[in-house]
Structure 1
Amino acid sequence: MRIRGRGRRVGVALIAAVLALAALNGCSQALRGEEDVLGRPYIGAFYDDPPAGSGAPGTVVRQQIATGAPDGSTAWRILFRSTDLRGRPVLNSGMLVVPDGPAPAGGRTIVSWAHPTTGSAEKCAPSRSVDPYVWMEGLPELLQQGYAVVATDYTGMGVPGPDSYLIGETEGRNVLDAARAARGLLGAAASDRLLLWGHSQGGQAALFAAQLQPDYAPELDLRAVAVAAPATDLAALLRADIGDVSGVSIGSYAFSAYAQVYGAALDSILTPAAIAALPVMNDFCLITQNSALHRIAQPLVGRFVTGDPGVIEPWSDLLAANTPGAVPLPVPALVAQGLVDKLVRPSATAAFVAHEKQLGVDVTYDAVPGATHGTIADKALPAVLAFFSAHDG
């Protein structure tokens, strides 16, 4: 499936449909068919035997021309160095897509894309799909504006590494190191100018990347950050969603990641049945294995957690530590939110926007009537492109 014209719209529609259905109890034959279309794996040796050892964050250690790139562009699968929240070296996989033809004077501005939840297992990495471009929302339009677009899979996805699901600082470092990797691979064809763009989990990742950039990647000239339905107040997000199958699915990824990374005891928040189900659930990818994931998650609705993770320690502190907004964003931000989103609630996003404005951040809030969690990135894209153009001068 090529992402061009009508084909690209079909891909976006498939993702939007499955994301919307992911919030519902049960599944259908149509959903399983869409999972099959989106879940075809990349077949090749690129991810085999990834190199060990450390290196400067952003260093590209393996690259491969990827087939099926959007018309008028060239794409690579890449492996590159990054670090986790404690500064330990990790390896990341991802994609880089660049318009064909000569770069403008001074090089192309880089857009580092942060993807929404696709799972937490290695196989759930967007770049491991046979058609990785369909996961990069707004890719053709960004290419048409001359940007180089790079996307990390996040640590622990694509290639082995510690879990990073909703671990804001690890994800943020990954997003910034992807931009460094793009600069390293493209050389003089890339500038130091950087724009950040993310959706849902990727919204959290992009916001953390913006917060971290002045200290972690000061050589990058960050101009702006745009996010769609970002995961902001994580305690409120889990509290709102844990009573349905989507919340149980997201919770299975998040609680596992926090237990692995921080050493938090799962039996302090999850029921025995939930703990027993976690290994199976975490091996399923959201969207591409949604129906299988929900078969395990549905019986756990109402019997997944033993209390409110926003109150019980250490979960309350961990969720707060991974909620963006502890420090002001250093650049202007565009925050888009669908007003009929049932996963990331409009009230939570509006509260985040108000908080950032209180900190003195230049925030544009784009509340989109009729947009769902699955459709908001596409519906907000015209505003995102205009916002990027205004701040990439």
Structure 2
Amino acid sequence: MSARRIALALFALGALGALLAGCAPIDAVRGIAGRWQQDGDSAAFYDVGSVAPGRPGEIVRSQALVGPPAGSRAWRILYHSTDQDDRDIVVSGIVVMPTAPSPPSGRAIVSWAHPTTGVAPVCAPSRTIGGTSLIPGLHGFLAAGDVVAAADYPGLGVANPSSYLIGRAEGRSVLDAARAARNLIGSEAGTDLLLWGHSQGGQAALFAAQEQRAYAPELRLRALAVAAPASDLAALLRDHLDDLSGVAIGSYAYSAYAAAYDVPLDGILTAEGIAATPSMTRLCLLSQVGAIHSIARPLVGGYTTADPGSTEPWASLLAENTPGGVPIGVPILVAQGLRTSWWTPPSPPRSSVACARRGSTCATCGCRRTVMAWSRSRPAARWRAGSARCRPAPCRPPRADTPRSAPRHPTGTPDRLNRPSTGGRTPGAGRHEAGHRW
């Protein structure tokens, strides 16, 4: 991949990260949920039964998708990957490629890591009708000639234990989705890799970047962009101990860790919280958020018994799954919303500070305008042009005087007692925030 191509890729990724981190307006987010319709006819595709172990990225089966974007072909795929304990698993996802001729060196691969959708198998993006429309920037990447791979993560699509916020498992599934794209006949994918993730997917993409050299050395990582990444898990859960998001999304995280690490939930959740958690984890965030919140709302303030960031073994497990401990060595774009009229953002993404310490080329962007990142009407050229405000540069820790939309405690956490009015609604209720770090 030429230096110019890398620059253009960062330009596009930067624009997308900036737009997503700016916090999509409520109507746009509702539009995403409106497109979240499960494909009931696809269930048999995900029933893998007994499958012999395979090489990471090896295709188990594929199925052409009906109605891909104009000028492209798309497949729903099952492929081999490995979990956090190096066990062979089967993961699902989507691959989309342009129909235009590929360059002699093969197409670059953009591996997209999606934000939180849920932890039940039916919550997988690839199991929705029109799942390709949920990949931000897809049309721009296809126009640039790229192949786009989108992992569902372990536990989504194919029935496996949930990998929610388990960095190695998520990151490996993102890398193996790129490998699967190369193994898919007709994809014409090369070895150049661009990683792009949002929210939960930001953590997954950061772990994929950290693991790439040792785990997938045949791929050539060229750039990484993350928007509103889950970059400090202990702080993230601590910031939401007493709100609706902390219960709803916490149910996903605590149950996944309990299963993956054999940790009893009674060390962190109340008896009422333990009883309600299975009901929340069966529901999908974008299509059933009202039902999740109806279960979670009575538990606000009474879901956890302690701060997981200072309670063992949870504190160590969260630290283990927080990105930033391994040098990445490629240009990185970290984008985070700074101000909206209806949401108080958390402190700047700590991954940008870790990036600065690691010596990578990094840009940290704060976008103060509310923008519609998910709109199909915004052409890729506009996305690319928007990145002028977020150019890669030597990474520096975020400034302490960054403007905020609400007063903050001396500790730097949002002052929930002084948030702007939300018209009587619980902040964040009923919507999935693009600028949020889930």
User: Normalising TM by the smaller chain, what interval?
Assistant: 0.7 to 0.9
CA contact (8 A) 2:68 2:132 kept: yes
Q: Is 2:243 the counterpart of 1:248?
A: no
CA contact (8 A) 1:172 1:207 kept: yes
Comparing 378-387 with 95-104, greater Cα deviation is found at 378-387
SS in 2 for 1:364: strand
Normalising by the residue count of structure 1, what TM-score does the alignment of the two structures yield?
0.86
Partner of 1:305 in structure 2? 304
CA contact (8 A) 1:122 1:160 kept: yes
How far the C-alpha of 1:330 sits from its partner, in A, is 2.6
Change (3 A) 1:36 1:188: closer
Q: Which amino acid aligns with 1:309?
A: P
Partner of 1:216 in structure 2? 215
SS in 2 for 1:259: helix
Q: Is 2:356 the counterpart of 1:357?
A: yes
Q: With CA pairs under 8 Å and 6+ residues apart, which has the higher RCO, 1 or 2?
A: 2
Inter-partner Cα distance in structure 1 for 2:386 and 2:325: 24
Q: Is 2:260 the counterpart of 1:258?
A: no
SS in 2 for 1:310: helix
CA contact (8 A) 1:154 1:174 kept: yes
CA contact (8 A) 2:147 2:187 kept: no
Inter-partner Cα distance in structure 2 for 1:178 and 1:388: 28
Inter-partner Cα distance in structure 2 for 1:53 and 1:302: 46
Inter-partner Cα distance in structure 1 for 2:343 and 2:56: 33
How far the C-alpha of 1:47 sits from its partner, in A, is 1.9
Inter-partner Cα distance in structure 2 for 1:120 and 1:217: 26
Inter-partner Cα distance in structure 2 for 1:278 and 1:152: 25
CA contact (8 A) 1:195 1:222 kept: yes
Inter-partner Cα distance in structure 2 for 1:246 and 1:49: 33
SS in 1 for 2:297: helix
Map 1:359-378 to 2 at 5 A. Answer: 359-371=358-370
Comparing 126-135 with 333-342, greater Cα deviation is found at 333-342
Equivalent residue in structure 2 for 1:41, among 29, 39, 42: 39
Q: Is 2:87 the counterpart of 1:88?
A: yes
How far the C-alpha of 1:91 sits from its partner, in A, is 0.4
CA contact (8 A) 2:35 2:130 kept: no
How far the C-alpha of 1:72 sits from its partner, in A, is 0.6
Comparing 195-204 with 239-248, greater Cα deviation is found at 239-248
Inter-partner Cα distance in structure 2 for 1:299 and 1:374: 33
SS in 2 for 1:43: helix
Partner of 1:140 in structure 2? 139
Partner of 2:116 in structure 1? 117
Map 1:156-175 to 2 at 5 A. Answer: 156-175=155-174
Q: Is 2:332 the counterpart of 1:347?
A: no
Partner of 1:382 in structure 2? 384
Map 1:256-295 to 2 at 5 A. Answer: 256-295=255-294
SS in 2 for 1:163: coil
Inter-partner Cα distance in structure 1 for 2:310 and 2:215: 31
Map 1:49-60 to 2 at 5 A. Answer: 49-60=48-59
SS in 2 for 1:256: helix
Inter-partner Cα distance in structure 1 for 2:140 and 2:263: 42
CA contact (8 A) 1:233 1:348 kept: no
Partner of 2:12 in structure 1? none
CA contact (8 A) 1:195 1:388 kept: no
Instruction: Compute the RMSD of aligned alpha carbons.
Output: 2.9
How far the C-alpha of 1:316 sits from its partner, in A, is 0.4
How far the C-alpha of 1:386 sits from its partner, in A, is 8.2
SS in 1 for 2:160: coil
SS in 2 for 1:117: coil
Inter-partner Cα distance in structure 1 for 2:296 and 2:188: 47
Q: Which amino acid aligns with 2:243?
A: D
Q: Which amino acid aligns with 1:43?
A: D
CA contact (8 A) 1:241 1:343 kept: no
How far the C-alpha of 1:295 sits from its partner, in A, is 0.5
Inter-partner Cα distance in structure 2 for 1:353 and 1:223: 18
Partner of 2:97 in structure 1? 98
SS in 2 for 1:363: strand
CA contact (8 A) 1:95 1:152 kept: yes
Q: Which amino acid aligns with 2:366?
A: A
Comparing 310-319 with 236-245, greater Cα deviation is found at 236-245
Q: Which amino acid aligns with 1:162?
A: P
Change (3 A) 1:104 1:64: same
Q: Which amino acid aligns with 1:275?
A: I
How far the C-alpha of 1:372 sits from its partner, in A, is 8.2
Change (3 A) 1:305 1:141: same
Inter-partner Cα distance in structure 2 for 1:279 and 1:304: 13
SS in 2 for 1:302: coil
How far the C-alpha of 1:137 sits from its partner, in A, is 1.1
Inter-partner Cα distance in structure 2 for 1:254 and 1:356: 25
Q: Which amino acid aligns with 1:382?
A: R
CA contact (8 A) 1:19 1:287 kept: no
Inter-partner Cα distance in structure 2 for 1:236 and 1:193: 34
Change (3 A) 1:224 1:34: closer
Change (3 A) 1:157 1:170: same
How far the C-alpha of 1:39 sits from its partner, in A, is 2.9
CA contact (8 A) 1:20 1:372 kept: no
How far the C-alpha of 1:384 sits from its partner, in A, is 9.0
Q: Which amino acid aligns with 1:246?
A: S
CA contact (8 A) 2:329 2:359 kept: no
How far the C-alpha of 1:134 sits from its partner, in A, is 2.1
Comparing 148-157 with 182-191, greater Cα deviation is found at 182-191
Q: Which amino acid aligns with 1:185?
A: L
CA contact (8 A) 1:343 1:373 kept: no
How far the C-alpha of 1:383 sits from its partner, in A, is 7.1
Q: Which amino acid aligns with 1:132?
A: G
Comparing 50-59 with 306-315, greater Cα deviation is found at 50-59
Inter-partner Cα distance in structure 2 for 1:142 and 1:388: 19
Partner of 2:233 in structure 1? 234
Inter-partner Cα distance in structure 2 for 1:43 and 1:103: 33
SS in 2 for 1:246: helix
Q: Which amino acid aligns with 2:240?
A: D
* Deviation digits for residues 72-127 of structure 1 (CA, Å, limit 9, x no counterpart): 10000000000001110010000000011211111100000000000000000000
Unaligned runs of at least 5 residues, structure 2 = 1-19, 393-438
Partner of 1:3 in structure 2? none
Inter-partner Cα distance in structure 1 for 2:299 and 2:173: 32
The number of residue pairs the alignment matches comes to 365
